[in-house]
Structure formats: structure tokens, C-alpha cells
Structure 1
Amino acid sequence: MTQLDLTRRRIIQAAGAGFLLPGLAPAVIASFKDRPKMTDGVQSGDLLGDRAMVWSRGDRPSRMVVEWDTRSMFSNPRRVVSTLADQRNDFTARVELTGLPADQAIYYRVFFEDAQSGVASEPWFGHLRSVPQAQRDIRFVWSGDTVGQGFGINPDIGGMRIYEAMRLRLPDFFIHSGDTIYADGPVPAEVVTEGGRIWRNITTEEKSKVAETLDEYRGAYRYNLMDENLRRFNAEVPQIWQWDDHEVSNNWSPSKQLDERYKVKDIQLLAARERQAFLEYAPKRLQSADNGGRIYRKLARRCSRH
């Protein structure tokens, strides 16, 4: 990544704090309180050839609009509009960007248009680098196990700072190796650690117990997205998500016997609810296999060897 790319990245994120770039005008001028809201940021993922996915979430029935360009000033933006985001998918939306030039900085801006009034939200800005055609060195980061063992977003230490540390490495992409949430791990207000020290958490109703309902699984993803470090990381680093066990329950299988914390004892029902939430919140390409529920996919790219 060149210094120019880095400078543009910083500029685009500063712009994302709320300034409109040239060429961006909402479909309908309205007061801020009447506009759709975007509280969960943006994500990109599943880069493949000349394509990439972009994800975000609104707060009402609306359609997500994504405009992208190879220049941060959006002098020649291409536009993609999502299908309707509503209560059925927890107001989440994704689109596929196609025709991306190889190995280029891609800047994108996202906003939602109210399905009834056409009123547009404030935009949220993101950045990615498209897949190279020629061999070159790549840099990627990987991790897993987000908000596990009761350790959530601690405001005393600045939240989930690992995501900021990874962002500063300027990776080409991020592999999330599963346990994207800990559905079986409630987040209490405080956790007593070694030496009697107190770890303090931001808390929500959905994360106050093990996840059993669809909204509780969704709420676990929404909880993670409350973290500023994670939202900033998501806006700059394309991702590849995998599914593991804690998305549902520790070491779950069809024969697993759930403990007394669970009122719902049907593990297959819980897994189906979680799969729906995972597919709604992951910045991944949806597939037709398994009635649209397939998570496995192949993402091939060439890279040089050291």
C-alpha cells in the first residue's frame, strides 16, 4: 500500500464522521430525526475476482445504496441498490460490487433510503483493496473468539483495542476463524479477574443471558458492533467469516444436552436461529445451496511465496 493510499484512507474515514463529499445528495432533504439511522457501520468481505460484498444495517424498512469509486472524491461513482431491508432480516442489507479493477483502492459510501418516503440517511464511508491479478506479497490478519468468557466491551481500557492494532497493520483482508459471537456466554456488568481486579463491561439486554431467541442471537452481533474499534476496522479491512461452535453453544452437536441456563432444549432449533442471524450479519456472499443456508464457500486468490 502506497503512502497515497494510506493518506486517502485517513481522509475518507475523517469524511465519514459526517461530512458529505461532492456529488452526494440525499434523495429527499429532511431533518436529521426523520432520516434512517446507521448505527452499526459498514463491512466488506468475500473478495473474489472483480467482486466484493458490502454490508450494513438500517433502522427501518429501507434500501441500502452503495456508491463506489477508485478515487476518494467519488468523481465517477458506480451505484448499487439492495433489496428491501426490513424486520424479516433485522434491517440488514448487502450488495455485491462487480467490475472492480484489479489491485486498486476502492472507496465506497453507504446510505439507506426510507422505503416509504425516500428520505436518505447520512452516509457511512468504507475502503477496500480489490484482488490483484499479478502475484504480489499480501498481508492478512486472523483472529477469532469475539467477546468470550464474559469479557465484553470495557470502556475503561478503550473497548476492543485488538481491532485497532490489527487495522494499523494495513492488512489486505481479515480471516475471522469463528466464534464470531459467544451465544452461550452472557456479558455481566463486572467480571472479577486475577488479584481481585474488576473488568467492567458495557451491557445489553440481549447479552444478559444465553442466546435462545432469534433476536438474542442478532443482539449478540449488534453488541459487538457497538465497539468503535471494531466499526473502524470493519470499514477498512475486507473480511472472511467462518462459523464455529460458540455461535450456538460450546462444542455443540445434534446430541448435545444443554444445561439449566437454557429453556429451549432443542439444539437444532437454536442452531437454525443462529445460522439465520449469522447469515444476516456476516459480510459474506449468500448462496443458493442448502436453501440459502450454506456457509462453506471457496475464495481463491493468487499470492507470492516467501
Structure 2
Amino acid sequence: MTDPTISRRLFLGATVASGAALLRSPQPASIWSARGLLEGAPGIVTSERLRPVLPGGVQTGDVLHDRAILWGRVDRPAQCLVEWSTSEKFTNVRRVKGGVTNAASAFTSHLDVTGLPPGQTIHYRMQYESADSPGAFSEPVIGSLRTPQRPDARGNVRPVRIAWSGDMVGQGWGIDEARGGLRIYDALRRAEPDVFVHSGDNIYADQPLLAEVKLDDGTIWKNVVTEAKSKVAETLDEFRGCFAYNMLDPHAQKFGSSVPLITQWDDHEVVDNWFHDLVLQNDTRFTEKRVRVLAERAKQAVFEFLPIRRHAVERDRIYRSFSYGPLVEIFVVDLRSYRGANSGNKQTELNAASSILGPDQFKWLEQGLKNSRATWKVVACDMPIGLIVPDRMRNGERNYEAIANADNGVPLGRELEIAQLLRSLKAGNVRNVVWVTADVHYAAAHHYAPDRAAFTEFNPFWELVAGPMHSGTFGPNQLDGTFGPEVRFASPAPKPNRPPSDNMQFYGTLDVDPRTRALTAGLWDVTGKRLWSIEMPDETAR
């Protein structure tokens, strides 16, 4: 049973490649067999058509000190089987079984593996057994992840590296196999982060791909195009197909098996600049005009295709936090699910219309930052604070998509919520807060300080911008002076919508030194070239 959102050519290509590999090596038996792969025993010969196939590899995510989500997707009902060990040779193996995949969740599986040792590299093998043909196993996929650490008996910890970026397969730039595919995933894997934070726009559901795009030099960018990426996404299967498209890339698959993810969403998982009450009256590409309906379908695909752990009570909650030992805690926020409608953003009171975090998420973030014992608190935000991100005109008024409202004055609109948070953190003497984001499709470093600001009740902080991962490069956006931002670095495109072949695709890193507790931030391009960096001292040590 194949996924209808993947083209027949691509699916058959993946299946043939898998089959060819099987013919060159012993047929896969169960990794759980008494004399299975660990001993190199011959496999049981089974008809290839009965074996489950993983068209998009595997992913890991939401890693805690003692557990991790292992994600996979197959082409039929099948049970996930996992072996894991702290040894690359798979000695002292632990084994875990997942449930049987089904069509209702696009044959995806999320196995929450518990009992992992903290501060260790975990090597794992994932394999699926067909539910309809017991004894028919997929090829095993081997991967690794590193669990967050706890101090040893002497209080020692190792360095921590976090990477982040966003904006994948946007503005018509898809997988061009002749140009190396989604090269950013290879660059990120080589950077060897402990974890990668995807800052949103995991897909561009509202931007289909053309088979060919002519570049400025006269050459042709040739996209792989699937059925789902040939139109805007409206149905659940079409949203699923957008996620499945990105996972066809070999770099994405290799990255997914070796670097744990922390993911959030932004607008293009649904449609550009969306909010729940938006109706796409004038967009002829859509037959379903109600964005609220589209967002519900898109969010289901987000939770199906990304390795996110479901919240125990609020099943669809995206905001959450992750401790990486005493050095770093990451707070992931969601600026989509609780916002009021985009507007002129000049409200004088904080209410449902001017909110972007919402009261429950605001309280969670405020208390989490105050209570965190980590030296550095990283807020992974899907949109920037001070950059002006305009939306279209509505009712004769310029609307705004992000937090800033372009007036450089006292906080108004969505700025009210941010001002309240910053004021509270200053009152609580919460230091070492760094914001990371994507969204605007260029790399930048902004320093915020009260001596440059209209609103002054806050401690200075940094906001670091990275991206796009594999989309058109733009910029620069203008800054709003309400919170006193200053550009310390920017790498905007020489003209709009530069293709990935121009190498203007960016990611960022945060490295924390366990000896000095200093944080070094860096911004890098897709070739692995460092463009900018700064060492931030531990303010709590002063």
C-alpha cells in the first residue's frame, strides 16, 4: 500500500534501490532473532513485495535525560522493533516494541523509548515487521543520538552544542538532485550538534513546485516534483505529502538518523501569515477557504510527521522545554496557535486581540525562565521580536505579521506581551536569556539594550536569526526601536529570492563551555563557513 502523495516514479525508485541492496547482501531477518544481525546469521528469504519499506528514513526528537522519541514511517501496517545500546557494537542490547502503524496516522510511528542513560551516545536499530505478513521485515536502519547530561560525581559536564535554522523548500526551490539536493542537512550533520532546533516553516504547504525554474545565469533548476507538491495543500494527505517530500532527500535521511530534533511550526505549515479567523476569499488556488480548517489538518500532519512527544493533557500543545543539564535549557514557543488576528498592531491593552503567546503559554514561559537552574536560557521563537514583518493591507490599514509594529514608540499591540515578559524577567533578575529564530530568510545578530529603547524595563539580551535552510534568501528587514535593537551582523541577499545554489542558506550554533560557562554564538552558511561569532560571558557570575 503506497502513499498516494508520493509519485509512482519516486516510490518505485526507492523500492528498487532497497531491493537491489537486499540482493547484494543477506536478506534481513528480525533484529530480535536469537541469531540475527548481531551474529551475522543469514536472513530468512522472503518475497520483496511483502517487506515494509521506509520511504523517508527515521528521525529522533524531544530527547530528555532518560528518553527519546524514535520516529519512522512505512508503506503498510507494520510493527516497529528497536534495539538500542550505548555501544556501537550493540553489546548489552535493550529491546523495545512499538504499536502497529495504520492508515489513520499515515503509517507513522512514534516510539517513546525510556530508561536511557543520561549523557550517553545511544546507538539504535529500527526495523518493521509487516502486520499482514509476519516474518517479513524491513531493512534495519541504524542511527544514534546523545542524551542530555547530568553532572558526574565531581560536578563535571561536557560542552553543549545547539544548532538552529528554519524555512525548508520554499519559494519554489525543491530537491534538485543534480545540485546536491537539500545540502543544508549535510552541513548541519557535519556541525555535530547535540540537538537541532527547527524554528518553523518545516514545509511550504502553500507554495507548490514547478518542474523547472530558470536561473539568472541561464541554467535550469530542476525540481523533483511529487503529486502533493504540485498544488497548494488543502487535504490532510496533501499536508502529509509536503512533509514526505522533504524526507525523500538522502541528506535529510542521514541527518534524521544522527541528530535529534526539537521542532516548532510557523505560518507555511498552513498558509502565509495565517491566523485562525483568516478566510482566503481572494486566493483562487484554494477550494477550502477557511484557514481554521486548513490549520487543523496541517497540525495533524505536524504531529504525525515530526518526532514530537504529545503533552499528557494538551495533546496538540507545541510549546515545551528541554533541559540540557546545568548549562542550557531550551524553551520552545508557539506564536501561531494563540495569536489574535493580524492587525495594525496598535492596541493599547493586552487582550485576546493583541496577544501572540496567550495567557497560559505566557505564564508557562515566564515561570519556566524564572525557575530554570540552567546557566543559559534559550528561547526558540518562531518569529523575531524587533524585525518588522508586514502583512497585507486590510481595511485600508497596513497589518503586521510578527511582534513589531513599525512605530518605534512605547509598546503597543503584541509588543505589550513581550514588554510584560521582559519587565518580569528584570524584576526577577533572570540573566543569560538568548532568543533564536528564523522566518525572515537571512542571517542576523541583534543586540537589544534599554539605553537605545523606548521601553527600558529590561536587561540587555541577544536575538539571533538563522535561515533559510533551503528556500529563497531575502532581507534585510527594518528594525522597530521599541526594545532598542541594534544590528551587529546581517547577511541579506543582493536581490530577492536567491536560490540555494547561491550558497546563501544559513544556520546558527550555540556552544556553552562548561569551564567558563560562556556561550559562543555562531552564524554559518551552507558550505560550513563561519560568518560571525561572539562569546557571551556568564552574567550570573558577575
* Structure 1 residue 23: Cα displacement: 4.9
- What SS is found at the alignment partner of 1:299? strand
Query: What amino acid is aligned across from residue 53 of structure 1 in structure 2?
Result: I
Identify which range, 162-171 or 135-144, moves more after superposition. 135-144
Match of 1:48 among 58, 61, 64: 64
Change (3 A) 1:24 1:188: farther
Change (3 A) 1:116 1:25: farther
CA distance in 2, matches of 1:27, 1:216: 37
Counterpart for residue 79 of structure 1: 95
* Structure 1 residue 214: Cα displacement: 0.4
Change (3 A) 1:62 1:28: farther
Counterpart for residue 296 of structure 1: 319
Counterpart for residue 59 of structure 1: 75
* Structure 1 residue 140: Cα displacement: 2.0
Whether 1:142 aligns to 2:164 is yes
Aligned residues of 1:23 and 1:75 also touching (Cα < 8 A): no
Match of 2:306 among 256, 270, 282: 282
Counterpart for residue 3 of structure 1: none
Equivalent residues in 2 for 1:97-176 (5 A)? 97-118=113-134, 119-134=136-151, 135-176=157-198
Identify which range, 115-124 or 227-236, moves more after superposition. 115-124
Change (3 A) 1:147 1:90: same
CA distance in 1, matches of 2:252, 2:41: 28
Q: Which has the higher contact order (CA 8 A, sep 6+)?
A: 1
* Structure 1 residue 222: Cα displacement: 0.5
Identify which range, 71-80 or 119-128, moves more after superposition. 71-80
- What SS is found at the alignment partner of 2:226? coil
CA distance in 1, matches of 2:200, 2:140: 30
Identify which range, 79-88 or 229-238, moves more after superposition. 79-88
- What SS is found at the alignment partner of 1:95? strand
* Structure 1 residue 256: Cα displacement: 2.1
Counterpart for residue 35 of structure 1: 51
Structure label with greater radius of gyration: 2
Change (3 A) 1:223 1:24: farther
- What SS is found at the alignment partner of 1:194? coil
Counterpart for residue 7 of structure 1: none
Counterpart for residue 225 of structure 2: 203
**Percent identity of equivalent pairs:** 46
Query: What amino acid is aligned across from residue 133 of structure 1 in structure 2?
Result: R
Match of 1:191 among 196, 199, 213: 213
1:50-75 residue CA offsets vs partner (Å, 9 max, x unmatched): 11110001111111111111112222
CA distance in 2, matches of 1:25, 1:89: 34
5+ residue gaps, structure 2: 1-20, 29-36, 152-156, 328-513, 519-542
CA distance in 1, matches of 2:253, 2:302: 17
- Name the count of aligned residue pairs: 289
Query: What amino acid is aligned across from residue 34 of structure 1 in structure 2?
Result: L
Aligned residues of 2:277 and 2:292 also touching (Cα < 8 A): no
Counterpart for residue 261 of structure 1: 285
Change (3 A) 1:156 1:94: same
CA distance in 2, matches of 1:246, 1:204: 18
CA distance in 2, matches of 1:23, 1:185: 48
CA distance in 2, matches of 1:250, 1:181: 11
CA distance in 2, matches of 1:28, 1:79: 20
TM-score by length of 2: 0.51
- What SS is found at the alignment partner of 1:147? coil
* Structure 1 residue 195: Cα displacement: 4.3
Q: Alpha carbon RMSD of aligned pairs, Å?
A: 1.9
Change (3 A) 1:23 1:279: farther
Change (3 A) 1:35 1:22: same
Query: What amino acid is aligned across from residue 103 of structure 1 in structure 2?
Result: G
Change (3 A) 1:24 1:47: farther
TM-score by length of 1: 0.89
5+ residue gaps, structure 1: 1-16
